[in-house]
Every structure is written in structure tokens, then in C-alpha cells.
A and B are shown apart, each in its own frame.
Chain A
Amino acid sequence: MSFVLWTKIVPPLEIMILWFVFYRILVFFEGTRSFQVLKGLTVLILAFIVSQLAGFDTLNWLLTKLFAISIIAFIILFQQEIRLGLARLGQQHLFNIQLEESEIMAIVEEITSAVYKMQKNKIGCLIAIEKEDKLKTYIESGIAVDAKISGELIQSIFMPYSPLHDGGVIVRSDRLVAASCLFPLSDNPNFSKIIGTRHRAALGLTEQTDAVVIMVSEETGEISVASEGRFIPIVNRERLVNILKILLVGQKTHST
């Protein structure tokens, strides 16, 4: 490849790389508290560049100072989100055991049957299924169970007088590894005022990890699935099975 040709390719290539980096940053922060701040920072960057190009020296001086302070403030205010983002970037799995589709569907069937029985009796529940991101921190916040998953086991845990019914359970591969686990609560301004603590916990966990969370509301008996910081409405049993199949089989469930 000649040098002249290479110099023509470099600018669009650089813009594409920059575009990808900016896009990934925006996607990472979308739906979180930090996204609002990120929007403000973006406006500040654009105003700074425009003032520089237009030769507005006073404005440029002010914006330079403001921009430097904003970056430091952003790092301090959102250190948790930044830490999680970096942890995700460096996440490596040494040992992965892949489940067969039939095994995943058997787990889905157990969870679905338990969820519908609990819905019938208006028993609230919160079930998190681990995917690529490890839920070790949240497992440690609960009580270790480590039993083969079954619908009856899930129902027993969430019975109102069960000592383990508070918090959520975590499913890893075909095992229910822990109960009474505490999940992070979502700070999403679009949801926090209209949803209950269980829903906020489901949302919070799916914002910070790639886990899939299934929950039943104690008040309404409504079933919801949360994934990637969003709720997926569930209207019937088939829909629940299909959604779980897409979310779990689509990318295959892994376990350590």
C-alpha cells in the first residue's frame, strides 16, 4: 500500500475509532444517573471547541477552567460507575462450562412454574440468573444455598414466613447458589419514583451486570423480567419462556 493511499485512509479510520469509543461510552452510561452529567459535559466540550474555532478568547478561557473542574467532579461523583465499567472491560473467565440448550430450557421451565405458582398466591420473588458477569459480590451478601434448582425450592424460599424470603436468589448454571441476597438499587430517574424496592433492585442489578432478573410483585402479582437496565413486560407464560429463552439461550449461559 502506498504512503499517499495510507494518508487518505487514516483520517476516516481515526474518526471511526473515535466514533466507536464515544458511542461505547454513551451506551455504557445511558439510563444511569451519570448520563445526564455526561450530556452536560458533551455540551461543554462542543461549546469549548466552537469558542476555540471562533476565536472567543474570554469564553474559551472560562470554558477551559470549567471543563477541567467538570472532569474532576465527574470522576469523584461517578467513581462507582467508572470502577464497574473498568472491571467489565478487564473481565476474563478462565473456566467456562457451557450448558446445553435443553438444560437451560429445563431451568427456565422450573423457574417459570415457580413464578406462576407464586403469582397465583401473590407471593413476591426476585430471581437473578447469572450470565457472563460474575455475581460473587451479591452472592456473598446473602445466605449460601448451593442446591440443584427446582420450582419447589424457589417457592419454599419465598414463602412469607421463610427466614430466607427477603432479598433475591441467585441462579448460576443449574444451581441456586444463594438466597436473601442484596442487590444494588437503581438510581434511574425515569423509574425510581414509580416503582417499588424489589423492582429497583432488579433494575439496579441489571444496570450493573448482564444478569437476567425475574420478579413477581407482592402487591399486584405482576410478573416482570429485567435485563440491561430495562423491564420487559410479561403477559403470559409463553411470553416468559420465550423471553428467557432469547436472553439465556441466545447468548448461552455460562458458569464457573
Chain B
Amino acid sequence: MKNWITNNLVLKIVALVLAVVTWLYVNNELLK
């Protein structure tokens, strides 16, 4: 379990940041 989290941690964090930012951006656009 620990290995699954720490493996490729940097890529996982970058992907998470991208996912959150994209979601926020798209939602912002949809609300306009």
C-alpha cells in the first residue's frame, strides 16, 4: 500500500495539481 502511494509520487502530485486546476478552470467557465 505504502509502495503504491510513494511510487512515482512526483508524477502523481503533478497530475493532481493539473486535475484540480483544470476542474476549477472548467467550472469557472461553465458558471459564466
The residue on B at minimum CB distance from A12 is B23
- A90 close to chain B: CB less than 8 A: no
Give every chain B residue within 8 A of A53 (Cβ-Cβ): 25, 28
Pick from B11, B21, B24: contact of A26, CB under 8 Å: B11
CA–CA, A38 and B28, complex, Å: 25
What sequence of 0s and 1s flags, for each residue 1-25 of chain B, a beta carbon within 8 Å of any chain A beta carbon? 0000000100110111111111111
CA–CA, A30 and B10, complex, Å: 12
Give every chain B residue within 8 A of A52 (Cβ-Cβ): 25
What sequence of 0s and 1s flags, for each residue 29-68 of chain A, a beta carbon within 8 Å of any chain B beta carbon? 0100000000000100110010011000000000000000
Taking residues whose C-beta sits less than 8 angstroms from the other chain, chain A's interface range is 10 to 19
B14 touches A42 (CB 8 A): yes
A22 touches B23 (CB 8 A): no
A49 and B16 contact, Cβ closer than 8 Å, known pairs A27-B11, A30-B11: no
The residue on B at minimum CB distance from A17 is B19
B18 touches A15 (CB 8 A): no
Give every chain A residue within 8 A of B20 (Cβ-Cβ): 15
CA–CA, A46 and B23, complex, Å: 12
A42 touches B8 (CB 8 A): no
Taking residues whose C-beta sits less than 8 angstroms from the other chain, chain B's interface range is 10 to 19
The residue on B at minimum CB distance from A39 is B14
| B2 CB, nearest partner CB in chain A, Å | 18
The residue on A at minimum CB distance from B11 is A26
B15 touches A15 (CB 8 A): no
| A29 CB, nearest partner CB in chain B, Å | 10
Give every chain B residue within 8 A of A21 (Cβ-Cβ): 19
| A223 CB, nearest partner CB in chain B, Å | 26
B19 touches A49 (CB 8 A): no
Question: Which of B22, B25, B28 has most A Cβ within 10 Å?
Answer: B22
| A13 CB, nearest partner CB in chain B, Å | 11
A42 and B18 contact, Cβ closer than 8 Å, known pairs A49-B25, A53-B28: yes
A15 and B23 contact, Cβ closer than 8 Å, known pairs A22-B18, A45-B18, A53-B28: yes
A27 touches B8 (CB 8 A): yes
- A14 close to chain B: CB less than 8 A: yes
CA–CA, A16 and B23, complex, Å: 10
A18 touches B25 (CB 8 A): no
User: Using a CB–CB distance below 8 Å, which chain A residues touch chain B?
Assistant: 11, 14-16, 18-23, 26-27, 30, 42, 45-46, 49, 52-53
Query: 24 A-B residue contacts at CB 8 Å?
Result: A11-B23, A14-B23, A15-B19, A15-B20, A15-B23, A16-B19, A18-B18, A18-B22, A19-B18, A20-B15, A21-B19, A22-B19, A26-B14, A26-B15, A30-B8, A42-B14, A42-B18, A45-B21, A46-B17, A46-B21, A49-B22, A49-B24, A52-B25, A53-B25
